[in-house]
Chain A
Amino acid sequence: MTQTPVMTDEIALLEHRLRTVSKVMTTKAAIAQTPKELVWAVNKAKLYRYIPVVPPQLRHRTPLLLVFALMNRPYILDLRPGHSFVEFMVNQGYDVFLLDWGVPGPEDKNLKFDDYTLEYMPRAIRKLKAITGAEEFSLLGWCIGAILTTIYAAMLPDDGLRNLLLLTAPLDFSDKQKLTFARWTDEKYFDVEKVLATFGNMPGEMIDYGAKALKPVENYILNYQKLWDNLDNPQVVEAWHSMNTWVTDNIPIAGGAFRQLIVDLYRNDRLMKGELLIRGQRVDLSRLRANLLTVIASDDHITPPCQSEAVLTKVGSRDKEVFRIPGGHIGIMAGSGARKLTWPHIDEWLAKRSN
């Protein structure tokens, strides 16, 4: 006699679980909610300023510009309220700007690192300076954004850059054995010209496949298993939903930039060797003199730690520091531990150098 209600409960629970799965798999979470204003735009690139919440007299004097990678949306830096690096930094009194590269279209297939670092970044920074009145600024580059900020810092060392923060920066490509991407994109197996001739830009889906295939079981099975096991935990479901929204929102990389990434960096390690040419000029890392903080994720499978270490021996900065954190490529900034470990350290380092 008691079997029927139990069965009904089980069915109701299963229905609820399936409904939750369906919701988080088919809808987009509310992300990037920190209030901001658009202050500059050229082509697809946009510069946002987050509305300060700290009174001007208590704010840090040096504004902070965030530069994210080319192949994902930058809102990972502002994922959701309470779990947003941007929100945290704004609350700490920084004047925070975000350079969003936008989605390159077929017309942008020839965009290269040269354009991003010598056309777009200097203009966005000029606007940042005009708005804030500051002559100096801090730059935070994450992943390929760290490549761009490093090139910029070395090419234009007198542009007012005071502090440079590199997060999981893939700069050193010398140790091919540790780089799965380097193996996959070796010229023996991967014809970059054929791919770009076909697609123009490197499609976001292919980049996504590449990133996920580094850890196929985690990304294609365990990720969903984690969701299923925690469907009764709203906090986990909410976090999973917002992260899934970001992970599945892939954008292409402009063809020219992708070619440089593969040929100049992954295959020939030209940045570290001092052979990388940007607009015909050699990128000399010793010209980079800004205060430097390199954040390394010790379990990073996309940018292994060996890729971010050597830059410290090459730059001309006197004030330089490495900060190693247990965690993965994205987890160190957007994971549950980021708020306790990574963000406070970044704030502590930057605050001393921002007034």
Chain B
Amino acid sequence: MSADQDGGSKPFDPLGPFRGMRDAYMDAVSKAMVEAVNTEGYARATGAMLDNTLAVSAPLREAMEKSMLQVLERLSLPSSQDFATLADRFTNLEMRLDDMDAKLDRIEKQTHAASPATDEQPAKSPVQDPKAEAEPPARKKSAAASKPSTQKTSPRKRTSGRKAI
């Protein structure tokens, strides 16, 4: 293997012919298996196997779930269903917050556009400096102060929910 990498002359490999035979054999088996799994028989067999597994496990699973639910109820603890419902409500809340965030963005943008041109910021470029967007307002301000004429700053000030990875 290392001789192959070096690109030099290959030393005699006594196992070479066996490797060749092995590869040819595996290739043939591989092709046969690909054809075998692509048959109705294989689909029927795996389907039946899955059905049987589910059928056998279903009563056990149901019994487990029922007893778990009873235990949780007695202990006044929420069930997984309760958590699922709660998660659903959280997601709805997240989406509403996201919509509100977008609306605030829009209002902020409109307010900025409508305000008299006291601050001589350059027009918003389609492609902005990501650092200007990512930095918190205080740091943004100092950065802008250091490079007043060239730094493009975003009109947005809220930077919530952004984490460097």
Contact = CB atoms under 8 A, between A and B. Distances in A.
A230 B61 CA distance: 45
Contact size class for A?
35 or more
Nearest to A180: B38
Interface in B16-55: 19, 26, 29-30, 33-34, 37-40, 42-44, 46-48, 50-51, 54
B54 A198 contact: yes
Contact of B161 (A40, A119, A222): A40
B138 interface: no
Given A59-B127, A132-B127, A198-B57, A42 B95 contact: yes
Contacts, number: 137
Contacts of A135: 126
Interface stretch (B67-75, B82-90, B110-118, B139-147): B82-90
Contact of B51 (A40, A194, A213): A194
B47 A132 contact: no
B29 A217 contact: yes
B144 to A, nearest CB: 15
A233 B51 CA distance: 44
B120 to A, nearest CB: 18
A38 B43 contact: no
A35 B165 CA distance: 6
A145 to B, nearest CB: 20
A194 B29 CA distance: 34
A139 B94 CA distance: 24
Contacts of A43: 87, 90-91, 94
B121 interface: no
Contacts of A222: 26, 30
A186 B83 CA distance: 34
Contacts of B34: 214-217, 301
A133 interface: yes
B61 to A, nearest CB: 7
B163 A42 contact: no
Contacts of B33: 215-217
A184 B43 contact: yes
Interface in A43-58: 43, 48-49, 51-52, 56
Given A49-B130, A133-B127, A216 B37 contact: yes
A215 B134 contact: no
B58 interface: yes
Interface stretch (A123-131, A278-286, A342-350): A123-131
Interface of A: 35-43, 48-49, 51-52, 56, 59-61, 95, 105-109, 119, 123, 126-127, 130-135, 180, 183-184, 186, 188-191, 194-195, 198, 213-218, 221-222, 225, 229-233, 301
8 contacts: A38-B161, A42-B95, A51-B130, A109-B84, A131-B128, A198-B61, A221-B26, A229-B19
Given A56-B129, A184-B46, 19 more contacts: A37-B162, A39-B161, A41-B94, A42-B98, A43-B87, A105-B87, A109-B84, A123-B95, A131-B133, A133-B128, A134-B127, A184-B42, A188-B44, A189-B47, A189-B48, A191-B47, A191-B51, A213-B37, A229-B1
